Amino acid sequence: MNIDAFWRAVLKQDASLLETFFVPEGHVNWHCTNEHFSVSEFIRANCEYPGRWDGELERVERLGDLLITVVHVHSLEQPLSFHVASFIQLKDDLIFSIDEYWSDDGPAPQWRRDKHIGVPICPQTH
C-alpha cells in the first residue's frame, strides 16, 4: 500500500485513482460528523467537496495491517486548515476500512491563553 500516493489522490480529489486503493466492500467512517460511507460514497464526498486542497503527510505508523496517518490538510483558496488522524485497515494490501477524525486548526481557546500555559508546537499560526 503506497500511503503517500493514496493521500495525494485524496488531496487532488482524483476519483478514478482513489477507487484503486480500496477493496470493493470497503467503507469509511468520519466519526466527528457521525457519517458512514461506502467506497463510492466516500469518493463522491471527497471529490465533490468544494474547493482545491493540498496537504502534508506528517506521520505514518504501521501495526501489521493497520496504518495510522496524521495529515495536515489546507485549502488553496481560503484560510481553512485541518488535521486528520486516520486508522486505515488493510486487506490484501488494499484499504478495507478507514476511521477518520477531522479537526479544525485554530488558536488555543482564550481561557487557556489567559492562563499563559503551553507554547506553540509550530511557530506558524493556523
pLDDT at 103: 95
Per-residue cell: 74: 489546507
In words, the CATH class of domain 3-114 is: alpha beta
Q: Which residue has the higher pLDDT, 96 or 119?
A: 96
pLDDT at 126: 47
The answer to whether residues 88 and 64 touch, using CB atoms and an 8 Å cutoff, is no
Cα(13)–Cα(61) distance, rounded to whole angstroms?
Answer: 24
Cα(72)–Cα(25) distance, rounded to whole angstroms?
Answer: 28
Q: What is the pLDDT of residues 19-56, one digit of tens each?
A: 999 999 999 999 999 999 999 999 999 999 999 999 99
Q: What is the pLDDT of residues 55-108, one digit of tens each?
A: 999 999 999 999 999 999 999 999 999 999 999 999 999 999 999 999 999 988
- Plot region of 119 (φ>0 → left; ψ -120 to 50 → alpha; else → beta): beta
Domain ranges of the chain: 3-114
